[in-house]
Amino acid sequence: MTDARPMRADARRNREKLLVVAVEMLSGTDSEVPLESIAKRAGVGIGTLYRHFPTRGDLVEAVYRQEVDRVCHAVDELLAELPPDEALRAWMDRFVTYFATKHGMAAALRAAVSPDSNLFGHTYRQLVTALDALLGAGAAAGTIRADVPPDDVVLALRGAWAAAEAPDGSARAGRLLDLLMDGLRYGAPGAS
């Protein structure tokens, strides 16, 4: 049996600093960032980095999980602030912006995480769950069709994400998301 003691406050702060710096440094480049550079910029020693993340893959995976969690956990906040269809559109913007601006993260993930890892299945389920909540709220409000599975929306979002990665991609991705929203609203009883 392992000792599941809570992390000390200073250790938790160091871990968070490492994740913040790693997001910034891994997202901005397609080349491999030395772990020593991440530790130095976070203001910790390399031993501290390895204590929290024994391998590069562990660090990259933790960063990816944290970022997907942020996108997915925005659902409740958006639904509290906006009508369901507008919350869905705002969430889609966050999703596409996150993935388009994290191109370096994709390279780091491909290099560090094995393709048979359960990471991608887990995060895919998170995305589907987030979309299911948004689509369900829109259907309940009558502003989104009730017959669209969240898996189909994920596939459509991949197209907007791919478009967003182009030099002029932000505007194109926005147009694709508007088209997707038009399709999701089409035939909904309360859609305008």
Supply the pTM of this predicted model.
Answer: 0.80
Counting other chains too, the contacts that 52-58 makes at CB distance below 8 Å and 24 or more residues apart are 52/11, 52/14, 52/15, 52/18, 53/18, 55/112, 56/108, 56/111, 56/112, 57/112, 57/113, 57/114
What pLDDT does residue 181 have?
96
Question: H or E stretch including 56?
Answer: helix 56-81
What pLDDT does residue 9 have?
85
Question: H or E stretch including 162?
Answer: helix 150-164
Q: Where are the domains of the chain?
A: 57-185
What pLDDT does residue 1 have?
45
Per-residue pLDDT of the chain (192 residues; tens, 9 = 90+): 445 677 788 888 999 999 999 888 887 665 678 999 999 999 999 999 999 999 888 898 888 888 889 899 999 999 999 999 999 999 999 888 877 666 666 666 766 666 667 877 888 899 999 999 999 999 999 999 999 999 999 999 888 888 877 777 788 888 999 999 999 999 998 766
| CATH 1.10.357.10 at 57-185, yes or no | yes
> 189: which DSSP letter?
T
